[in-house]
Homo-oligomer: A and B are copies of this chain.
Amino acid sequence: MDLATAIGLLAAAGMLVWTLWSGSGGALSTFWDTPSAVLVLGGSLFVVLTTQALDKFLTLFGVLKRSFFVKRRTVAQIIEQIIKLGELARREGVLSLENALGDVEDEFLANGIRLVIDGTAAGEIEQILEAELEAMDGRHSQGKGILDTFGKYSPAMGMIGTLIGLVAMLQSMDDPSQIGTGMAVALLTTMYGAILANMLFLPLADKLSYRHEEEMLLRTVMLRGILSLQAGDNPRVTQAKLSVFLPVNLRDSIEGPGGPKKEE
């Protein structure tokens, strides 16, 4: 899991519990009301379910898991890997890439290299890999969409719960001393909705979105690298073409063809 995400989620939750603890003088139960929690959590779950087909809804967990646990690699690592493949192809021919496929963990990159080995034309490789990218884009934006939908409907369910609570309280306002407690309970659903949306669903949706952009960048680097392999570019040219994807200050840190660049 990304370290920042793990730290962020846990620390935010911890801080919330601590605030509730000190706010209630140690009696966390002050902030707990089962019907309210059921309405907000259950209500948003069912509303989101309404918007989805069952099989799509279930893919959410796969998308989440893959996003958080897949090993992250940097653009620099991808560039170095492609340069090494380029050197191999130059030295021993394109067919020799077959042996190197075992080291290529990324399915997308491996597919591209297989297309190069098969001698597919550049235009066709580009077409096939871009169709893959587009399809991946669709799957990712669907996962993000479900989280966004949760983030949209949980505050709405919170507001509905508070309105119900307020109406119920106002209708039976016999004992003015109960107004405070009634309003406190009514506000709990709004609070639950706000917490769920702003500390869970929306940050995770944002996370998916950033992670998606990162993956698309990696894939674009791979695509350009594969096309450079196919064209039989000199590994130095490949490096020059790909390093534009790095910030200026990181460009020299790449291990170029024939060993670290510093040693040239």
A180 touches B184 (CB 8 A): no
A184 touches B170 (CB 8 A): yes
Contacts of A72 in B (CB 8 A): 53
B180 touches A170 (CB 8 A): yes
A149 touches B52 (CB 8 A): no
Instruction: Give Cα distance in the complex from A247 to B132, angstroms.
Output: 9
B52 touches A164 (CB 8 A): no
- A36-76 toward B: CB 8 Å interface, digit per residue (1/0)? 00110011001111111111110100000000000010100
Interface check A80, CB cutoff 8 A: no
Considering only CB atoms, which chain B residue lies closest to A38 in the complex? B15
Q: Which of A22-30, A81-89, A90-98, A226-234 lies at the interface with chain B?
A: A22-30
A207 touches B247 (CB 8 A): no
Interface check A225, CB cutoff 8 A: no
Q: Contacts A23-B165, A57-B4, A156-B198 known; A51 to B107 CB distance under 8 Å?
A: no
Q: Contacts A12-B50, A206-B149 known; A183 to B198 CB distance under 8 Å?
A: no
Chain copies in the assembled complex: 5
Considering only CB atoms, which chain B residue lies closest to A129 in the complex? B244
Residues of A86-137 contacting chain B, CB below 8 A = 107, 128, 131-132, 135
Contacts of A218 in B (CB 8 A): none
Pick from B107, B183, B214: contact of A170, CB under 8 Å:
B183
B53 touches A19 (CB 8 A): no
A204 touches B50 (CB 8 A): yes
Pick from B22, B48, B135, B213: contact of A244, CB under 8 Å:
B135
Interface check A160, CB cutoff 8 A: yes
Residues of A196-226 contacting chain B, CB below 8 A = 197-199, 202-204, 206-207, 210-211, 213-214, 217
Interface check A79, CB cutoff 8 A: no
Pick from B38, B131, B159, B170: contact of A194, CB under 8 Å:
B159
Contacts of A194 in B (CB 8 A): 156, 159-160, 163
Considering only CB atoms, which chain B residue lies closest to A108 in the complex? B248
B51 touches A206 (CB 8 A): yes
For the complex of A and B, list the 6 residue pairs with the smallest distance between their C-beta atoms, beginning with the closest: A8-B50, A8-B49, A170-B184, A12-B46, A173-B180, A51-B206
**What are 20 A-to-B residue pairs whose CB atoms are below 8 Å?**
A2-B52, A2-B54, A4-B52, A5-B49, A7-B49, A8-B48, A11-B49, A12-B46, A15-B46, A19-B35, A19-B164, A23-B164, A50-B203, A50-B206, A51-B206, A51-B207, A52-B210, A128-B244, A145-B210, A167-B191
